[in-house]
């Protein structure tokens, strides 16, 4: 079984996107022997901190600038 705790969050999000696109699990080794399911990826991502999207990042930067003035 693949240790998802060692993978960066952005990589896990990329793999999750791939599983939705292909409709099956993701094989990080690309050898067809080990698949990671959507459920495993979602479970691991639920333990991670939220990553801001562009709109949230922009709002946070604006807030920080106003706060510092």
User: Does the reported pTM lie above 0.85?
Assistant: no
Distance CA 15, CA 12 (A): 5
Q: Quote the pLDDT of residue 58.
A: 94
Mean pLDDT to the nearest integer, 12-21: 90
Residue 20: in which H helix or E strand, if any? helix 9-22
3-state helix, strand, coil in the chain (%, to 5): 60, 5, 40
pLDDT by residue (tens digit) across 17-61? 989 888 888 888 777 778 888 999 999 999 998 888 899 999 999
Burial label, 27 (beta-carbon count in 10 A; 0-12, 13-18, 19+): middle
* Residue 1: pLDDT over 80: no
State whether residue 33 is helix, strand or coil: coil
């Amino acid at each position: 079984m693949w240790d998802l705790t060692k993978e960066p969050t952005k990589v896990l999000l990329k793999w999750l996107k791939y599983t939705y696109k292909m409709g099956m699990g993701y094989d990080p080794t690309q050898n067809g022997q080990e698949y990671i399911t959507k459920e495993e990826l979602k479970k691991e991502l639920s333990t991670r901190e939220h990553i801001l999207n562009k709109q949230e990042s922009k709002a946070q930067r604006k807030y920080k600038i106003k706060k510092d003035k």
